[in-house]
Structures are given as structure tokens and as C-alpha cells.
Amino acid sequence: MRLFWELAKLSFQRQLTYRAATLAGLATNFFFGILRASVLMGLYGARPEVAGISLAGAVTYTGLTQAVIAFLSFFGWSEVMNSVYSGEIGSDLLKPMNFFTFWLAKDLGRAVANFFTRGLTIMLAYALVFDITWPSTVVQWLALGLAIVLSWLLSFSWRFLVNLTAFWTPNAYGIIRLAFTLSWFLTGFLMPLRFFPKWAVQFAYLTPFPHTVNTVTEVYLGLVTGPALVGALLGQLLWILVLIGAGQLVLRAGVRRLVIQGG
Amino acid sequence: MWRVLDLYRRLLAVQIRAQLQYRIAFWFDLLGTAGITTLEFGTLALILQRFENVGGWKLGEVAFLYGLIDMAFGTMDMLFSGFDPPFFGQQVRQGRFDQLLLRPVNITLQVLGSRFEMRRLGRIAQGGLIVGAALALTKAHWTLAKVIYLPVVFVSQVSFFGGLFIVGATITFWTVESIEVINIFTYGGNEMMCYPMHVYPDWMRRFFTFVVPAIFLNYYPALYFLDKPDPFNMPPFVSFLAPVAGLGVLVAALAFWRFGIRHYASTGS
């Protein structure tokens, strides 16, 4: 366990050293956030509320989606794949730690650093220029904290699983890119899933993706309460278990056919 | 001239052959790049069932902006991928740009030929389909003048984005690392130009009118093509400034690029 925290700490510190990249990322996320908020305002027109989401709620939603981009490595993450291609995985597999846990620790450090530098900061910048909403009850804040942690775990388990395709193909970049792209739509990152027709929402909920961004935004905006809130968090937990299980099975099959080139 | 074109053709042929080596990966890439546009536009189309319009523009009209810009950006991203700032920054960092400078061939041509991303074809095709849908959904009156002007606007958009890529690449001569802020203008500009410009805050629209002339490349031409009134009451000839704005940005960018090369001091790696 000590090893886990040390790895996470190292990765956290490493992430903090990329100051220029953090600033540039913040500027970009903020700019895109304003764009998307403007489009939503254009969509709302004179309507005060759509599908239970107020205009202020919709603007807040665009801030939240920009705030989770870096935290959840939303635009792509291929570190495990790279380690397969570079052969680094050989020494990583020899470490006295489960391969999944090893990467989980590294990703934890990365995620926590980004949560503060590119998550909270975005929301604060949003609060400066827009009328945004905040969770109102203690229960809602607690549920939000839990939902955020679970969304990271879910996102990581899924990213890990997709990266394992590297064991089977000499160039998994395209597959990973396609997988990430699909996830943008299904997570509710492009638009709140509530705005979609019913069939599209039902389809999205057959996959693990809405349990990341969409759940976090719905908990934040107070759209799910009571039993529905508990159900949302349990849904996250369930998918985490499924994805971790699948990751372990695929990893075992992949390692069996792994060839590390010498040199 | 022929020698130059022949060289360019050969450089591209090498790229194309290399990219077709991993066929499955190539198809995934093609699908992936097409997928982004499809999903984003599909999302918009789905929620417009509920909202009906964006700032008063219906699905077909937004589709026109969206598809045209996506085709133009995709085409630019394929032709100018050698200038893609993160990629170009890496070339500078690793000293590969110095190798190009040693060769007795025009440097701009070499950079253009150094990368040709075929997977962008997916995005171009997708943009074309969206424009097709737009033409079917809108009832604009297509005169001969419009049919002639449409490709002019397309080429202007490609030059505009190409110019932005060249500026981003040139900046890496000094910064070495690619500065991500350029993404605001390239990818941000692309995203922004997919929607009617009057939905944005005034300061942002003014910036993209007077500093970066994006508004003349999509919004004003679209007002003309789709017979829509101008909410800002600019004179009507503004709809025809696309080639001036597009080529202007490209020419200015090339001048900056030459200035950058004259002052280029290698990283020494």
C-alpha cells in the first residue's frame, strides 16, 4: 500500500511540473467552455428551463464538462499502450505489484493534480463570468464527491482495458482514438443526455459511459435525488467492478502472447 | 515548376504508401476521424428535435456552416499536416528540421511534403455528407453566382486554416515546444465557425472579426448563400470578403514563416 501512495505522489508531482502546459490547457478549456455555453444559450433562446435543466444549470454543465477533461484524460490516454510498444512493460510486469494497481496509482496522481489545476480552476473562472449554480445540500456535496471519485475509477478501468488492445495489434492508436471518440457522445460530454430522445438515452445507458460525466453533472445539478441518487452511484460501482474484472481477464490473455524484443 | 510539382507528388506518394501499410489501423483511423464529426453533428441534430433552432437557425442552416467548415478544416489538416504545430515543434526539437534546411529544395515544399495525413479523408467525406444534408434541408435559391462562389469560399477557408497552422508552426522556432494556445485559434476557430456567429458574446465576435477575420469565411458567406438577413447591418459586400480574408491570412502567415526561417537558430540537437 505504501508503494501505491509513493507512486501516486511521484506522478502527482510530475504532473505539477508541466506549468506552461497546464496554463495553455486551462485557456483552451475555458475558451471552449464559453463557446459551448454560448451555443447552449442560443439553443435555449427564451426558454427558462429544458428537461429540468435551467439555463444557469446548462451553462454550469458546460463548465463541468470542461473541468473533467484533464481529470479523466478525456481526449486520449495511451500510456499503457506505449509501454507495450516500447517494451517497458517487461520491467513493469516484474514489479512486486499488480500491473493494474501500478497504473492505477500513477493515474491517481495525475488525476488529483489535474482535478485541482484544471478542474477547480475552470469552475472558479466560470463563477467569475457566468451565473453558475452550486450544489445546495450537504448530501448533494457528499454525493458529488463520491460520484467524482467513482467516475475517475470507472474512466481509468475503461482506459486501461482499451489500451490492452496493444497486445494484439502493432498499431492500436486508431482503435483507441475511435473508442475515445465514441465515449464523448455516450458520456454526455457533448450535450446533457437528458436533452436526447428517449431511445438514445436508453442506448447510452447500456454502456458504462454515462456513469462518468453524465452522472457527475446530474448529481452536481441536483437532477437526481433520493433513491435515484443512490441508484446512480451504485450504477457507477457496478460498472467499475465489471470493467476491472474484464481488464484482468484481458490482461492475462495478453501477457501470455506478449513478446518483448531484446536490446 | 514541373520539377517542384513532381517532387511534391513523390513526397506524397511515399507518405500514402507508408500509411496504407497497416490497413486495419488505417481504416480505424479513417473511421475515428469521420466519427468525431458524425457524433458531434449527430448530437446537435438529435437535440435540435427538442430545441428546434440555434439562435434562430434551423438544423439545415447550421448543417451548411458545419459541413463546409469541416470539409475545409479536414482538407487543410491533410494538406498542411506538416505544419501541424505539435508535430512541427517535434521536428524542430529533434533537429529534423535542420536536415530539411540542408537539402537544395524549397523549404516550404519540403515541410508540406513531410506529412500527409490520409485519415483526414474520413472527415472530409463526412463534412461533404453534412453539406449534402444541408442542401436538402434548406430551400435556398441557388443562382449561378452562388454556385461559382461556393468553391471560392471553400478554398478561402482552407487557406485561412492553413495560415493559422503555419503561424503556429513558425512560433515553435522560438518556443521549441508547441504552444497549445494556438489550438484556440485552429480547433477553437473551427468549432466556433460551425455555429452562427451571433450566438457568441460581443467581445468574442469582435475578436473573430477584426483580429482573426473568421466571420468573413463562414458566417457572412452563409448569409448570402442561404438568403438570410444580417443582424449586424454590415454592408452587403462583406459576404464576398472570404477570399480576401482567407488568402490574406495565408499570405501574412507565409511572410511570418519566412521571417521565422531567417531568424531560426537550431536547438542544436
pLDDT digit string, tens, across residues B164-174: 999 999 998 88
- Please name the residues in contact with A29: beta carbons below 8 A apart, sequence gap of 6 or more: A66, A67, A69, A70, A118, A122
Of A28, A38, A170, the CB nearest to B201: A38
Segments forming the whole domain that contains residue B243: 2-262
Average pLDDT over chain B, rounded to an integer: 90
Cα A15 to Cα B190: distance, rounded to the nearest angstrom = 29
**Residue B228 is placed in which grid cell?**
438570410
Residue B234 has pLDDT above 60, yes or no: yes
Distance, in angstroms, between A97 CA and closest chain B CA? 32
Tell if the CB–CB gap between A177 and B181 is shorter than 8 Å: no
Contact A59/A139 with Cβ under 8 angstroms?
Answer: no
Question: Per the structure, how many domains does chain B have?
Answer: 1
Segment A90-119 mean pLDDT: 93
> What's the whole-number mean pLDDT along residues B62-77?
95
Nearest residue in chain B measured CA to CA from A43: B54
**What is the nearest CA distance from B115 to chain A, expressed in angstroms?**
17
- Band the pLDDT of B269: cuts 50, 70, 90: low
Please give the mean pLDDT across all residues of chain A. 92
Residue B267, in any domain of the structure: no
Q: Is the CB of residue B194 less than 8 Å from the CB of residue B66?
A: yes
Mean pLDDT for B138-149 is 92
* Residue B65 C-alpha, separation from nearest chain A C-alpha, in angstroms: 14
Nearest to A178 among B26, B31, B184 (CB): B31
Q: Is residue B232 in some structural domain? A: yes
Residue B243 is assigned to a structural domain of this protein: yes
**A113-122, A225-234, B111-120, B188-197: which has the minimum mean pLDDT?**
B111-120
pLDDT at B54 over 70: yes
**Which pLDDT value is given to residue B180?**
73
Residue B68 resides in a domain: yes
With respect to residue B269, please indicate whether it lies within any of the assigned structural domains.
Answer: no
| Mean local confidence (pLDDT), A10-34 | 90
**Average pLDDT over every residue of A227-237:** 95
Q: Is the Cβ pair A42, B55 closer than 8 Å?
A: yes
Q: Is residue B133 part of a domain?
A: yes
Position B268 pLDDT exceeds 70 = no
This prediction has a pTM of: 0.89
DSSP 3-state of A119: helix
Kindly list the residues of chain B whose beta carbon comes within 8 Å of any beta carbon in chain A: 22, 24-29, 31-33, 35-36, 39-40, 42-44, 46-51, 53-56, 119, 177, 179-181, 183-184, 188, 191-192, 195-196, 199-201, 204
For residue B55, what is the nearest residue in chain A, using CA coordinates?
Answer: A42
ipTM: 0.86
- B189, part of any domain: yes
| DSSP letter for each residue of A155-197 | HHHHHHHHHGGGGT-S--HHHHHHHHHHHHHHTTSSS-GGGS-
Identify the closest residue of chain A to B33 by CA–CA distance: A178
Sign of the torsion angle spanned by Cα atoms A178, A181, A187, A191: negative
Beta bridge partners of A53: A50
Residue A46 has pLDDT above 90, yes or no: no
Confidence of residue B178 (pLDDT cuts 50, 70, 90): low
The answer, yes or no, to whether residue A263 has pLDDT greater than 70, is no
> CA-to-CA distance for B75 and B71, rounded, in angstroms?
6
Q: What is the mean pLDDT of residues A206-225?
A: 94
* B118 assigned to some structural domain: yes
